[in-house]
Amino acid sequence: MTTTVEEASVRPSRDPRSRLYSGLPRWIYLPAVIGGLFVALPLVAMMLRMDWARFSVLIASPSSLAALTQSLQTSFTSMLVCLVLGVPMAMVLAREQFPGQRLVRSLVLLPLVLPPVVGGIALLFTFGRHGLAAPVMDLFGISVAFSTVAVVMAQTFVALPFLVVSLEGTLRSVGQRYELVAATLGARPSTVLRKVTLPLVLPGLASAAVLSFARALGEFGATITFAGSLQGVTRTLPLEIYLQSYADTDAAIALSLVLVFVAVVVTVVTASISERSLA
């Protein structure tokens, strides 16, 4: 029986040499495996150390539930604030050219490299009771330090750059072809933004929003410095884990695993959104 060229091209090859060439030398797999183990082993150690018979009881305690609820509420609010502030910032940085743009971008991304505690101190000396903005805030009777609002501000401060840098990259990658066509056809800038730009970057925007939510959920240093740790008011899940690490190690591990689970879900969702946007 003869085999046509078309059948041969469709039939999968059993030759191992026909696999896609990676271009990687064999020795590079060793440090790659070591790096993977360095990340995975601490998580495995926590799971092995966990008293799984008490897991549901530990995460269902009143203090744990209050901290989890507080974290989810403030992180979601922070994500919305990041969207309101970060989307315009990313669009200006991606689409405009102005003097000092590099400096502005560096300042926007500064919280990425600053220790969170430094961010908390900066917020405290800006919006605290004796901060730079205190005289103006006192005129309106506003006090935010050591309140739930302070938690949202601290989380937004550290999470906003994640949304800006991610969305800016998406905006640059999609280009301006369709926007220019819409503008040429007479569409106003607001119409172009609403009907062209935002639909184009929607997958990237969703991914950036999820990343900012995850960063806000895990925030610790800026929160405890600027907002304190008041149960039911400012005590988020990372703060509860820190306190439980001294009082009840099993409770700290259980709550840590909850955060790990949320982080895994966020990672999977972000990867799924990215894959769909590239498809």
Q: Distance from first CA to last CA of the chain, Å, rounded?
A: 39
Burial class (CB in 10 A: 0-12, 13-18, 19+), 226: buried
Confidence of residue 262 (pLDDT cuts 50, 70, 90): confident
Residue pLDDT, tens place only, 166-216: 999 889 888 888 888 888 888 898 888 888 888 988 888 988 998 899 899
* CB 250 within 8 Å of CB 58: yes
Confidence of residue 9 (pLDDT cuts 50, 70, 90): very low
Q: Write down the pLDDT at residue 247.
A: 85
Residue 50 lies in a domain: no
Give kind and range of the element (H or E) at residue 77: helix 62-95
> In percent, how much of the chain has pLDDT > 90?
37
Nearest Cα neighbor of 169 from 115, 220, 105 is 105
Domain of 191, CATH number, reads: 1.10.3720.10
Asked whether residue 48 carries a pLDDT value surpassing 60, the answer given is yes
202: CB partners within 8 A, 6+ apart: none
Residue 246 lies in a domain: yes
State whether residue 139 is helix, strand or coil.
helix
Q: Write down the pLDDT at residue 89.
A: 93
The stretches of 114-248 forming alpha helices (DSSP H) are 116-127, 134-139, 148-174, 177-184, 189-192, 198-217, 221-226, 237-247
Asked whether residue 11 carries a pLDDT value surpassing 60, the answer given is no
Residue pLDDT, tens place only, 124-150: 999 988 889 888 888 888 888 888 999
Residue 122 lies in a domain: yes
Residue appearing with tokens 């410095």? 225
Residue 165 lies in a domain: yes
CA distances from 259 to 19, 36, 117, 213, 223 (A): 39, 20, 20, 12, 17
Residue 3 lies in a domain: no
- Per the document, the length of the chain is 279
What total number of domains does the chain contain? 1
Residue 258 lies in a domain: yes
Q: Rounded to two decimals, what is the model's pTM?
A: 0.84
Asked whether residue 5 carries a pLDDT value surpassing 60, the answer given is no
Domain containing 93 equals: 63-278
Q: Write down the pLDDT at residue 10.
A: 47
* CB 71 within 8 Å of CB 259: no
- Tokens encoding 183: 């503008």
Residue 225 lies in a domain: yes
DSSP sequence for 33-47: HHHHHHHHHHHHHHH
**212-239 mean pLDDT:** 90
Residue 83 lies in a domain: yes
